[in-house]
Amino acid sequence: MCELFGYQGATRNLTAPLAEFFSHSTDHPDGWGLATRQHGAVSAEKEFAQASRSSYLLRRLSAGVTTDLALGHIRKATVGIRTRENCHPFTGTDCTGRQWTLIHNGTMFDAPELEPFRATQIGNTDSERVLLCLLDRINRATAEAGRPLTATERFAVIDRAVCSLSANNNKLNLLLFDGQLLFAHSNYEGTLHTCTTPEGTLFSTRPLAAAQEAAGENAVDLTWEPLPFCQLTAFANGRLALTGTDHGNVSVPAPELLAKLKATTVAVAC
């Protein structure tokens, strides 16, 4: 599976936890990506290369990564081709001009709602189709309201979508940023954790020791805990702001479904 990293909060140096996170790429060699925010705008970088072997990423980390928002991804493709277009993060803009950024860990075994977006996506991952589907739902809700949606209204739209998309054993571990809220969701037990620091909140598939080291004098009682399970959450300024529906759509290992997917489709998981 892929691995996810996230941070939202006060501006801080994330170089140490990011370096540890990207070191996991020996097990996830099919590409890396990093989105950060500077002066209010999110920019995404990604490369079809193993992160630990990327000279560009080494230079990027050596220069230091200081930001108030970061989304990192290392990819292990489970189905299909390996290209830069299929690396995360994926970005898009809704009808109001709001930028959305998504990273995903999982396989969508049975999600008919995603099928219409095969024709418009740039790559061919189900992860990219998830973002396009979410943007479509936001756009339709905006048109119905006749005005830009509030943060609470955007959360309600994403919550309904997550409840639907996580059915049928679909694994929907994701971090999604809309310029204000950082949405987080996991329905595969033990595969997304959070760590609350004095500056904000960190997210990682696997707990990172470097989060403690980087905190220095503020390192008292920093612990990693599992993200709330099968329930969308949203963070604002690094603190939990909204909690969604407890949908109960648990994803479990399904090697037979994965084998069937590989044999019958050219779709790319994660």
What is the Cα–Cα distance from 233 to 212, expressed in whole angstroms?
A: 24
pLDDT mean over 126-146: 98
90-93 sheet: strands from edge to edge: 90-93, 99-105, 173-177, 181-185, 231-236, 239-246
Q: How confident is the model at residue 234 (pLDDT cuts 50, 70, 90)?
A: very high
Q: Which residues are bridge partners to 8 per DSSP?
A: 69, 201
Chain centroid to CA 8: 13
- For helices 126-145 and 151-165, the axis angle rounded to 10 degrees is 140
Q: How confident is the model at residue 210 (pLDDT cuts 50, 70, 90)?
A: confident
Q: Between residues 138 and 77, which one has the greater pLDDT?
A: 138
Q: Is the pLDDT of residue 259 over 70?
A: no
Q: If you compute the radius of gyration of the chain from its CA atoms, what whole number of angstroms results?
A: 17
Joined together, the tokens standing for residue 100 give 């959305």
Q: How confident is the model at residue 267 (pLDDT cuts 50, 70, 90)?
A: very low
Find the helix or strand (DSSP H, E) in which 131 lies: helix 126-145
pLDDT mean over 167-195: 97
